[in-house]
Amino acid sequence: MNKDDILDRLKAVEDPDFGEDIVSLGLVNSVEIEDESVHISLALGAPYSPNETAIAQDVREVLAETDLDVSLSAAVDTGLSPDEQVLPNVENIIAVASGKGGVGKSTVAVNLATGLADLGANVGLFDADIYGPNVPRMVSADEGPQATAEETIIPPERFGVKLMSMAFLVGEDDPVIWRGPMVHKIITQLWEDVEWGALDYMVVDLPPGTGDTQLTLLQSVPLAGAVIVTTPQTVAIDDARKGLRMFGKHDTPVLGIVENMSSFRCPDCESTHAIFGEGGGRAFADEVDMPFLGELPLDPKVRERGDDGDPIVLDEDSETGRAFQSFTENVANNVGIVRRKQN
């Protein structure tokens, strides 16, 4: 069996997002046959995303009858050398943003990072909300980072997620009163001085709005994409639109819109109440032609588990936990779409 035979078999594997076979799409980087084994490099860039995992499984299945020992690897060429990359060991950086505060952006970021780690990915979570860092409390990170002899920072880890936050660097009750240049400096230092290691994903919890931190991020690192968080309320969507335009001006892919606090199910009467309106997030996504990543319920358990440092996405037995899991999978799948388009 030669390379052409292998490629013919791989033409039976369809990309579930693009609807064509992986050979025609150029998603097969290389095929190397040696003795009784074959190694295939695929242009996949979203580790542990359900759709890319399915592609890899389909590849193994179509080659199962060849009696060859099949090994797979994945790589998408970024066009940058390691020296040109700020974080060369981080495959995908996902920004979680909102146009205004109070929509649960940090809750979404924490559960997204924890959900990706629960899928099996190596994940970092950078709390870039300089003025209101909440991530350590939401994952019950009682121990702060450690410093090395080389004056680099080893981040603490919770739920398989490496963490960095301004909350580790200032007093618990101390306000952060910094102007733009200082914000730029500290954000840049935290990128470069933290020993993140090899990560499949880094989730960045941005402060609300379109200020200095967002600009620093967009100018410093290549984002795989951004998640825009809103509630169904018209006022929240108006501000989310501003955030969307900010990423558009910097040619940053937007992975989609997620609607938080979409509805409340009364535990007493079991009826559902649209406290902040209904369908606003989905309508906004349709209006701007962006993927809709899901509806996340308004559930007291989200607040309770956030305060206790136990992300709701890990609760597989609850409807809310499953909603966050579905959202996480949708984000990962959309990262894969963006990365495969780059090939």
Q: Give tens-digit pLDDT for 267-299.
A: 767 667 767 767 788 998 999 999 999 999 988
CA separation for the pair 306, 128 (Å, rounded): 18
d(CA 83, CA 318): 45
pLDDT at 113: 97
Tell me what pLDDT residue 193 has: 85
Segments in the chain below pLDDT 50: none
The pLDDT score that the predictor gives to residue 292 is 96
Where b means 16+ CB within 10 Å and e means fewer, 247-281 reads beeeebbbbbbbbbbbbbeeeeeeeeeeebbbebb
The string of pLDDT tens digits covering residues 98-126 is: 877 778 899 999 999 999 999 999 999 99
180 residue type, one letter: G
Nearest-angstrom CA–CA distance, 318 and 31: 44
Instruction: Give the other-Cβ count within 10 Å of 18's Cβ.
Output: 14
At 59 the pLDDT is 96
Check residue 83 and give its pLDDT. 62
Cα–Cα dist 102/132, whole Å: 12
Q: Where are the beta strands (DSSP E) in 153-290?
A: 153-154, 157-158, 161-165, 199-205, 225-230, 254-260, 264-265, 272-273
pTM value?
0.91
| Residues forming beta bridges with residue 226, ordered by sequence position | 95, 254
Q: Which phi and psi angles does 27 have, rounded to 5°?
A: -90, 5
Q: What is the pLDDT of residue 218?
A: 66
* pLDDT value at residue 170: 66
pLDDT score, position 295: 93
- pLDDT of the residue at 212: 60
Residue 203's pLDDT is 96
